Structure 1
Amino acid sequence: MLHPIESSTRSANVAVRRTPAAPAGGGTQQLDHLDDNPWHSGAACRRDEAGLFFAPSKEPTAARLAREEQAKQVCARCPVLLECREHALAQPEPYGVWGGLTAAERRVVLARRRRRESELRVTAPRRIAG
């Protein structure tokens, strides 16, 4: 079973490894270190069972909550927790525990960010060209 950082799409029964996205906003800045030493190479979840991070079909609620809590405990000791979380928010990853957050928790974070960005655009002072 693949870990969160190696989750896959299946095409002709071949697993395709998903890699982190480039930083938002594009620009000319390149993250050369991603090829040499990707952030996920040091992830704590690489040593744990991937089933801990992704729900099996028809998982009972109590079992899901217990499994997610165990996954979050792995994330809590992870040296790349923030990088993983930002990756999952930037993608956005629709399933599993990433960066210590469930999919539902990530949706809340993204909604808050959108609301905050919207509020900042409305309250930002406008400059008058002169």
Structure 2
Amino acid sequence: MTEVFPLFGGFDEEISWQERALCAQTDPESFFPEKGGSTREAKRVCLACEVKAECLEYALAHDERFGIWGGLSERERRRLKKKAA
């Protein structure tokens, strides 16, 4: 049986992939840089992460508008969604 926990505004989501995410073991501030700040460090962590695809899928499905998810910035995710539409 899969564990389910409440996340983000009361939605129930499977979080087993989040528990394996490398970002959970690093400084969260690097994944949410100030406007104009560098995303390099966060993207480097994502490159080595085994759950990068699940993370990106989650961000796209939940319209995450801030931060680095699955190795992509907000702008990169918007472009990806436009291409898919």
TM bin, normalised by shorter chain, reads 0.7 to 0.9
Which structure 1 residue ranges, 5 or more long, are not aligned?
A: 1-15, 23-33, 115-130
Cα distance in structure 2, aligned partners of 1:21 and 1:110: 24
Which structure 2 residue ranges, 5 or more long, are not aligned?
A: 1-5
Aligned residues between the structures: 79
Q: What does residue 51 of structure 1 align with? A: 29
- Residue pairs, 1:1-130, within 5 angstroms: 17-18=7-8, 34=14, 38-56=16-34, 59=35, 61=36, 64=37, 67-114=38-85
How far the C-alpha of 1:42 sits from its partner, in A, is: 0.0
Q: Residue 50 and residue 108 in structure 1: after superposition, are their counterparts in 2 closer, same or farther (change >3 A)?
A: same
Cα distance in structure 2, aligned partners of 1:109 and 1:46: 25
TM-score by length of 1: 0.54
For the pair shown, which has the larger CA radius of gyration, 1 or 2?
1
Q: 1:53–1:97: 8 Å Cα contact kept in structure 2? A: yes
TM-score by length of 2: 0.81
How far the C-alpha of 1:102 sits from its partner, in A, is: 0.0
How far the C-alpha of 1:55 sits from its partner, in A, is: 2.1
Q: Residue 21 and residue 97 in structure 1: after superposition, are their counterparts in 2 closer, same or farther (change >3 A)?
A: farther
RMSD of aligned C-alpha atoms? 2.3
Cα distance in structure 2, aligned partners of 1:83 and 1:20: 17
